[in-house]
Amino acid sequence: MEAGPRPPDLVSAPGAAPPALSRPLLGLGRPELEQWAEGQGQPAFRGRQLHEWLYAKGARSLEQITVLPKAWRQQLAAQPPQGAADWLGRSRELHRSIARDGTTKLLLATHDGLSLETVGIPAEGRLTVCLSSQVGCPMACSFCATGKGGLQRSLAVHEIVDQVLSVREVMGERPSHVVFMGMGEPLLNSEAVLDAIACLCTDLGMAQRQITVSTVGVPKTLPTLAERALERLGRAQFTLAVSLHAPDQRLREQLIPTAHAYPLEALLADCRRYVAITGRRLSFEYILLGGLNDQPQHAEALARLIRGFQSHVNLIPYNPIAEEEFQRPSPEAVAAFRRQLQSRHIAVSVRASRGLDADAACGQLRRRLEGEGGKGVITTRSRSHSSP
């Protein structure tokens, strides 16, 4: 079932001046673009042309869409929408960092002078895009660079979809998977995230099963997310990844300060309600911090905690950041942790560490460049990475 229509927030009449939109065009579907074009006295096929140039061709400005009448383009350029520098709503690239393994991190500028990160991760015939849902993050996880600066604002739909188009443009291939694991807490911006998922599926041809939404947990949001996904998308087929990072409440509060308001028992109860509503298996994420939560007793406690769930555990070896003293776990500790979970018949995988030399962990590149006062478009490459 296709995602439902997205309301374009039109305020116009046929033949009137360009309507005031509460958002730019990126993120609108073909029916909404047709309606918008007709609202300006243009034929519906102009909306279809806009759709093709936005999503298939990745246009960055109206001037590039030469199939549109020049007078109309000039009229639109003179009256941009709210929340964007122009009607298309594309971001500006500030920095590109490319690791030896091809992992590519982009630092993108918003219309209001903020910056956000997105990452393209190539591997074995697939390209995964790691998306940000907010500028900064309010969750203040102690091991995460993004949380050090707090939250500046949530991203609009066009700013989320633009990340996928930007990675596609830079890396020269169509993304196969999307994970909401970048800057921000997706469940604190769930409506924009669901609208972005609808756009990725309907307008960019992705399947929901190729999309993962990650959360550290926000009280009372998981059942609501499930219900809204069914309303908005027709079904909830994307993967929900719940970041536990600790097998007990005390340690979890040490790592995730906001967890004091959301006891593990309540979080897991909401997880069960989510599964009951959607029928989908959960993924549990667990960052491994050397000497802190990576010991056999932690693995055993985690196995007991999630007993009864039809789930998958994704182990994430820590990516060090300069401001913290956390250590990356040894390969032996990672392997032992995995074996312990497998011995309890738990499906488990270890996330491959990609882009360690490209500041690819969440928030690292943005914090480093802001600390250096970096401005302008810069590309950095690992010395052993050859240019395409």
Give the domain extent around 279.
Answer: 120-373
Estimate to the nearest angstrom the gap between the alpha carbon of 315 and the chain centroid. 19
Please name the helix (run of DSSP H) or strand (run of DSSP E) that holds residue 67, with its range, or none. Answer: none
Residues 53 and 134 in one domain: no
User: At residue 278, what is the residue type?
Assistant: T
Residues 246 and 358 in one domain: yes
Is residue 247 scored above 50 in pLDDT?
yes
Q: Which residue has the tokens 């240019």?
A: 387
Cβ atoms of 89 and 24 closer than 8 Å: yes
In a domain, 108, yes or no: no
| Both tokens assigned to 332 | 């032996």
pLDDT of residue 357: 58
| Both tokens assigned to 346 | 């738990």
Selected residue with higher pLDDT from 388 and 366: 366
What percent of the chain is modeled with pLDDT above 90? 78
What percent of the chain is modeled with pLDDT above 70? 85
In a domain, 2, yes or no: no
Query: Is 199 considered catalytic here?
Result: no
In a domain, 380, yes or no: no
Q: CB neighbours (10 Å) of residue 177?
A: 18
Question: Lowest-confidence range among 123-127, 255-259, 290-294, 323-327?
Answer: 323-327
In a domain, 107, yes or no: no
Confidence tier at 15 by pLDDT (50, 70, 90):
very low
Selected residue with higher pLDDT from 5 and 227: 227
| Both tokens assigned to 7 | 């309301």
| Both tokens assigned to 89 | 């709503």
Smallest Cα–Cα separation from 84: which of 127, 27, 29? 27
Arithmetic mean of pLDDT, 65-85? 92
Residues 340 and 202 in one domain: yes
pLDDT of residue 84: 86
Is residue 88 scored above 80 in pLDDT?
yes
Arithmetic mean of pLDDT, 113-129? 95
| CA-to-CA separations, 136 to 127, 149, 328, 349, 356, in angstroms, rounded | 24, 6, 23, 28, 21
For 261-284, write each residue's pLDDT tens digit: 999 999 999 999 999 999 999 999
Q: What is the CATH number of the domain that holds 36?
A: 1.10.150.530
pLDDT of residue 355: 61
Cβ atoms of 13 and 244 closer than 8 Å: no
Q: Which residue has the tokens 């102690």?
A: 142
Residues 301 and 204 in one domain: yes
In a domain, 216, yes or no: yes
Question: Lowest-confidence range among 156-170, 302-316, 350-364?
Answer: 350-364
Residues 37 and 153 in one domain: no
Q: Indicate which residue of 34, 117, 159, 185 is catalytic.
A: 117
Rounded to 5 degrees, φ, ψ at 138 are -90, -5
For 374-383, write each residue's pLDDT tens digit: 555 556 665 4
Residue ending a domain, among 68, 90, 112, is 90
Arithmetic mean of pLDDT, 93-102? 94
Is residue 61 scored above 70 in pLDDT?
yes
Query: Is 362 considered catalytic here?
Result: yes
Residues 173 and 221 in one domain: yes
Residues 212 and 295 in one domain: yes
For 34-51, write each residue's pLDDT tens digit: 999 999 899 999 999 999
In a domain, 312, yes or no: yes
Cβ atoms of 288 and 329 closer than 8 Å: yes
In a domain, 387, yes or no: no
Residue ending a domain, among 90, 105, 139, is 90
Cβ atoms of 91 and 29 closer than 8 Å: no
Cβ atoms of 319 and 356 closer than 8 Å: yes
By DSSP bridging, strand 239-243 and strand 211-215 are parallel
Residues 76 and 176 in one domain: no
3-state secondary structure of 20: coil
Confidence tier at 11 by pLDDT (50, 70, 90):
very low
pLDDT of residue 17: 45
pLDDT of residue 349: 98
Cβ atoms of 196 and 376 closer than 8 Å: no
Residue ending a domain, among 90, 112, 141, is 90
Residues 177 and 279 in one domain: yes
pLDDT of residue 169: 98
Indicate the number of domains in the chain. 2
In a domain, 111, yes or no: no
pLDDT of residue 386: 35
Residues 136 and 262 in one domain: yes
Cβ atoms of 364 and 95 closer than 8 Å: no
Q: What is the CATH number of the domain that holds 190?
A: 3.20.20.70
Arithmetic mean of pLDDT, 83-98? 93
Give the C-alpha separation, 309 to 225, whole Å. Answer: 19
For 348-376, write each residue's pLDDT tens digit: 999 987 665 545 555 555 555 555 555 55
Confidence tier at 145 by pLDDT (50, 70, 90):
confident
Within 8 A by CB and 6+ apart from 263, the residues are 249
- For the chain, the average pLDDT equals 89
The single-letter DSSP state of residue 14 is T
Is residue 99 scored above 60 in pLDDT?
yes
Confidence tier at 2 by pLDDT (50, 70, 90):
very low
pLDDT of residue 13: 39
By DSSP bridging, strand 104-109 and strand 115-123 are antiparallel
Long-range contacts of 200-205 (CB under 8 A, 24+ apart): 200/161, 200/164, 201/2, 201/3, 201/233, 202/2, 202/3, 202/29, 203/29, 203/30, 203/51, 203/54, 203/55, 204/55, 204/161, 204/164
Residues 269 and 315 in one domain: yes
Residues 165 and 66 in one domain: no
Q: Indicate which residue of 141, 201, 271, 362 is catalytic.
A: 362
